[in-house]
Amino acid sequence: MHKQTAKFVGVVAQNLPEMPDDLMQSWIENPKGLQKVLKNALCPPETMPSFKIFQTITLGTGITTADDFRKAIKDNGMEIGKYANDILGKSQFTVTVKETELDLVNISVADLGFKNGETREKIYARAKELGLELCPNEVGPQLRLQYKDQPKGEVLIIAMEPITDSDGDLELFHVDHNDNSLWLNSYYAHSGSVWNGNYPFVFVLPRK
């Protein structure tokens, strides 16, 4: 037994409450039940955080093709980056036919518990553990169109399944407001790449 473990077991034994022999015997005969009680007492489940909705957007607005999105973005005085424009036209990009509202949360990699950064796969897994969901990829252009008051300097990465661009690279949409305009852009999303702890991701908060 590990020295620290032995020490901990000794402390637990010293601090057990008094109990009758028959109760002790019942725990001896029910080790799984005892394990569950000890786990809940000594390792309580992590409290689920309370997420604040930062935007509620609508999918399925009647914009059904890549060209429709390109035109709508242009007509609203917004811009599309080269690779965001590219993945809009890929078969992996899909559009919801039925009008649907989604509540979105904006959370950093650090807020998910990875202050020193982490891979996309682990970021997504952690978010799912906390009850969040990945965004349909339509969220990228729809958020761009509907988030017209985005603060300058803000960049939001869409937590979605990556889309493969024409160069064979995986991409995620992101929406940003630089000094000149509101943009729909994209980030490389190679498997295994580490995302900085300050990077903000957009997830879906399911409605109950």
125-172 pLDDT, tens per residue? 999 999 999 999 999 999 999 999 999 999 999 999 999 999 999 999
Confidence (pLDDT) at 47: 52
Place of tokens 């029910």: 30
Q: How far apart are CA 138 and CA 99, in angstroms?
A: 12
Q: Which residue has the higher pLDDT, 196 or 26?
A: 196
Looking at 15-117, list the stretches that DSSP marks H as alpha helix, in order from N- to C-terminal side: 21-28, 31-42, 66-75, 82-88
Beta strand 79-80 pairing with 163-164: unpaired
Domain boundaries, the chain: 3-42, 53-204
Find the range with the poorest average confidence among 16-20, 122-126, 197-201. Answer: 16-20
Average pLDDT over residues 51-64: 94
Determine the residue type at 41.
Answer: A
Q: Percentage of the chain with pLDDT > 70?
A: 95
pLDDT band per the 50, 70, 90 thresholds, residue 61? very high
Confidence (pLDDT) at 136: 96
Q: What is the dihedral of CA 180, 182, 188, 194, to 10 degrees?
A: 90
Q: Taking the CA of residue 3 as centre, how many other CA atoms within 13 Å lie in the half-sphere pointing to its CB?
A: 0
Two structure tokens written together for 17: 């409450």
The CA-based angle 136-195-113, given to 5 degrees, is: 90
